[in-house]
Amino acid sequence: FLSLWLEANLSKKEILQLYLDRAYMGGGTFGIEAAADFYFGKSVKDLNLAEAAMLAGLFKAPTKYAPHINLPAARARANVVLSNLVDSGFMTEGQVLQARLHPADVVDRGEQKSPDYFLDWAFDEVKKIAKPGQHSLVAHTTFDANIQKAAEESVEFHLRQFGKEYNVTEGAVVVIETNGAVRAIVGGRDYGASQFNRATKALRQTGSSFKPYVYATAMEHGFTPDSVVSGGAISWGNWSPHNYSGGSAGNVTLLTAIAKSINTVPVRLAKDYLGIGPIKAMAESMGVESPLEAHKTMVLGTSGMTVMDQATGYSVFAQNGFVGSRHGITQLVTRTGEVVYD
């Protein structure tokens, strides 16, 4: 349907312009103008043939052929583009010879690594914020390169240390401030190998880390950390959850129950005092957008949630109960400097 609408409402040139302005070009850049500036330090209108061919080669696989990461691969791909120009009759071999003999060089970015998982997520936010007709915007984000680097190193360290033991090959991290500003996202080990963002899209059971939402709901219903609840055996229909120790926890305060991660206490709170609905509503009010199943086993974390949602919910605890608006974009500016979102 979208392709039919584009064909009916836009010219071929306009469609191409939209694509060239929006396509991901590697290095954290979207659109050929931003890519030209990032890779070559100049406007796209000032590129020579070798540089233009290198940019054109990025559309096939921007992460694989990003010249600041793999210059030989980018040059080889640019050579393919030049051959295609000749084979298609747009240029002669003589016209592309100098571009072959003198391939493009790029601005030295050192070991700068593009935060692709963060950028994918932030770009989705831009598409929600930007109004129809607003193109070629400069987006200012909440991203922090130092935090991102530390998060990536942490994921790699833990996968190397414990991955084999637990049969785990991937990990995800989200770092979010108490005001909702997302500072870093690690959606996987290698963006080039897999663009699936495990931090924002993968639903995984949370286990005991869901219990704080149950206790938060209890606090809203008049309980305190010193309130005493039975941690003894409990059955809810045909479900009889057990504590990790295997025995009864006796009468314990809520503070002790959460500190020791006792299973029977949050189940008893949900069954006898709170109900499942209010607990689900509490998690959602704290920023959880994952589709929680309103089932009794939810209190022990059987519903899938994203890492992003869990980080968002826990940020409310760090903020003493105040919910920050989760965001990655702080400002959108046009090419002429007009601020269209702040």
What are the tens digits of pLDDT across the range 126-176?
989 988 777 778 899 999 999 999 999 999 999 999 999 999 999 999 999
Q: Percent of the chain scored above 70 by pLDDT?
A: 99
Reported CATH class of domain 2-112:
mainly alpha
The angle subtended at Cα 136 by Cα 133 and Cα 142, nearest 5°, is 110
Considering the entire predicted model, what is its pTM? Answer: 0.76
Residue 207, phi-psi category: left (phi > 0), alpha (psi -120 to 50), beta (remainder): left
Burial of 337 (0-12, 13-18, 19+ CB in 10 A): exposed
Model confidence at 114, pLDDT cuts 50, 70, 90, reads confident
Q: What is the pLDDT of residue 295?
A: 95
Give me the phi and psi of 15, to 5 degrees please: -65, -45
Owner of token pair 């039919």? 4
**Helix (H/G/I), strand (E/B), else coil: 182:** strand
Q: Decide which of 77 and 248 is more confident.
A: 77
> How far is residue 82's CA from residue 86's CA, in Å, rounded to a whole number?
6
CATH 1.10.3810.10 residue ranges of the chain are 2-112
Residue 106 DSSP label: -
User: Domain 204-305 in CATH: superfamily?
Assistant: DD-peptidase/beta-lactamase superfamily (3.40.710.10)
Q: What is the pLDDT of residue 152?
A: 93
Give the rounded distance of the alpha carbon of 48 from its chain centre.
35
**Least-confidence region, from 232-236, 243-247, 313-317:** 243-247
CATH 3.40.710.10 residue ranges of the chain are 204-305
